[in-house]
Amino acid sequence: MSLSDIRVLLDLKGRPSAGCEAVNDLLDHHLERIRIQMDALRTLESQLAALRHQCGELHSVEECGILQNLSESAESHERACHTEH
């Protein structure tokens, strides 16, 4: 939770007769952010596992298919953003 979220919770705690909807809303929002982050991490995990699976044998760094693919991808990206449309 961010410091601003904690401040909101402390402010709400200081008003004991107020309804707890704001607390629930804050926590629901925080839970949603966590779910989005977890989905992104699962996607990253899958991508990294697939990348790792491509290299089953030990090679020199010069022959590393993973590094070659990253280099080719970076070069392709650099060219793509500098082409005229």
- Among 1-5, 41-45, 64-68, 79-83, name the most confident range: 41-45
Q: Is the pLDDT of residue 31 over 90?
A: yes
The residue type found at 37 is Q
Q: Is the pLDDT of residue 41 over 60?
A: yes
pTM above 0.85, yes or no: no
What's the confidence (pLDDT) of residue 75?
77
Average pLDDT (6-19) is: 90
* In the chain, where the domains are located: 1-53, 58-85
Cα 2 to chain centroid distance, Å, stands at: 17
CB 12, CB 23: distance < 8 Å = yes
CB 64, CB 55: distance < 8 Å = yes
Q: What is the spatial distance between Cα 1 and Cα 23, in angstroms, rounded to a whole number?
A: 13
